[in-house]
Structure formats: C-alpha cells, structure tokens
Amino acid sequence: MNFIRHVGKMGDRKVAIIFREVPGEPHMCLVTYTETLNQHIHDPMIKCIESDIGQSAKELADALNRTLTHDGRPILQVLHMEGLLKKVNAEQVVVTPNSQTKIKLSELNKILNEMQQGEDAVKRMAELDQSRGLQDPADVARRMRGDPQPKQQVSASNSAMGDSDLANNLRQQAAKMSAEAKGLLAEADRLLKEASSMDGSATETTPAKKTPKVKKTRAKVSA
C-alpha cells in the first residue's frame, strides 16, 4: 500500500502539513485545512503533494514554494498572504499516510529526528574509520562535532625551502649542460684534426717563387 507524505487530520478535518516543526518551537507545526481551500489553490496543491517533487521534499513548504496556482503565484506565498497557514500543536495532528496507518505528528517528528541523528553519527564514525592511526586529538574532536576542515596555511619557511630546492636543481642542470658542452667542443677539435690528416693535399703549401736578385752596380764617378 502506497504511503503519501505531508497529509493528516486534526479531529475530523483534513490538513496538509506544511512544516512538521516550527523553527524555535519544535512542538508546534504549520498546517492548512485542505477542505476550505479554493479550487485554484486546492487542486495544484494536491497534485504537488502526490508528485515526486512533493514526496521527496523534506518539508512540503519547499515543494509548494516551487509550485504555482492557476493564476501563476507560488502556492506557499498565497497560503501565507491569505492567512491560510495555521500554527497548531503537533500533538493534535494525526499523520495518515494511508487508510490503515495513523501516528501522531509529535511521535513521527521524534522518530525522524532520531534517525537523522543516527545517520549523522554513522557518517562521522565512517570518517574516523577512513583515517585510522595516531591522530591529533583536536582534529578528532573537530570531526566529531562536525566542524569544517580548517584551511591549510603555507608558511614562509616552506616557501623558502621550495625556492632553495629549485635553485639547486637549476645549478645541477647548468653543470650538466656545461660538461656536455665541453665534451662536444673536444669532439669537434678531434674531428677537425682527423680531417686535416686525411686531406694532406689541402694542407700542403705551394712553395713561393724566388724573386730574382737585382745586381747592384756601382756607378763610376769620373774625376
């Protein structure tokens, strides 16, 4: 048998449960009497309750805020503006998910809240199981409370250490490149010498022609 959420009765009057609990007043709830609603509100609201959106909503108010009346207004806004929301004690509301099931809204709220707390506890224990070993007690206490993970700050010393490592790496690369360059220069010099020894004709020099000597004669001077 299908269960329909967010519906119940106050005495003999049918109600739609808009909020299971009023913020700050968990013993109170907000309902609307469905039988007194105008058709342009009643029909789209019932359709919303029975829809997947309505049945998956934790509070019916969330679904009604996204559902429009026939004249295009959010149903939740219309209920509020026209004074159709009634704050009543949860003890007075009987939830009727089907014709065979009845439970007081106050008792249902207690069960749902305990289930939610149980789910939260299971999630926190799962986090602890995933990080076994010796841990910081402050960190364990933080996670048990459900506090958010603090942001990690990078210290100046860590930044300086990173720069030092980078400088050393650059020096090592420069030394390696220098050694490789020296090796290449030595190999180039060896190849040039080998080429010179193999190509003898290219390296022989043509003897220079001797320039004929001019015989100097001493002119005789007559007295």
Q: What is the pLDDT of residue 181?
A: 76
Q: What is the pLDDT of residue 179?
A: 77
Q: What is the pLDDT of residue 53?
A: 95
Of 77-81, 126-130, 196-200, 208-212, give the lowest mean pLDDT range. Answer: 208-212
79, 29 in Cβ contact below 8 A? no
The predicted model gives 144-160 an average pLDDT of 54
Task: Give the position of tokens 């000597």.
Answer: 213
19 within some domain: yes
**Three-state secondary structure readout of 118-177:** HHHHHHHHHHHHHCCCCCCHHHHHHHHHCCCCCCCCCCHHHHHHHHHHHHHHHHHHHHHH
Selection from 40, 39, 48, 18 nearest residue 30 by Cα: 18
pLDDT at 132 exceeding the cut of 50: yes
Q: What is the pLDDT of residue 221?
A: 43
pLDDT at 211 exceeding the cut of 50: yes
140, 124 in Cβ contact below 8 A? no
Q: What is the pLDDT of residue 150?
A: 61
Verify that 64 and 139 share a domain, yes or no.
no
Verify that 99 and 121 share a domain, yes or no.
no
Most confident of 64-78, 119-133, 138-152: 64-78
Cα 105 from Cα 70, distance rounded (Å):
30
pLDDT at 191 exceeding the cut of 60: yes
The predicted model gives 168-181 an average pLDDT of 77
165 within some domain: no
pLDDT at 163 exceeding the cut of 80: no
Of residues 88 and 190, more confidence is placed in 88
Cα 74 from Cα 165, distance rounded (Å):
62
Q: What is the pLDDT of residue 104?
A: 94
Domain that holds residue 128: 115-145
Of 13-22, 66-75, 94-103, 197-206, give the lowest mean pLDDT range. Answer: 197-206
Q: What is the pLDDT of residue 136?
A: 57
155 within some domain: no
Residue that is last in its domain, among 81, 104, 127: 104
130 within some domain: yes
Provide the b/e sequence for 102-115 (b: ≥16 CB within 10 Å).
Answer: eeebbebbeeeeee
Strands (E), the chain: 7-10, 13-19, 28-33, 86-89, 94-98, 101-104
Tokens linked to 52: 């997947």
Q: Which pLDDT band holds residue 63 (cuts at 50, 70, 90)?
A: very high
Q: Which pLDDT band holds residue 82 (cuts at 50, 70, 90)?
A: very high
The predicted model gives 37-52 an average pLDDT of 95
41, 69 in Cβ contact below 8 A? yes
Share of the chain above pLDDT 70, in %: 69
The partner residues of 88 in beta bridges, in order of sequence, read 29
First to last CA, the chain: 163
pLDDT at 166 exceeding the cut of 90: no
pLDDT at 60 exceeding the cut of 90: yes
Verify that 15 and 59 share a domain, yes or no.
yes
Average pLDDT of the chain is 79
Verify that 92 and 126 share a domain, yes or no.
no
Verify that 140 and 120 share a domain, yes or no.
yes
Cα 128 from Cα 4, distance rounded (Å):
37
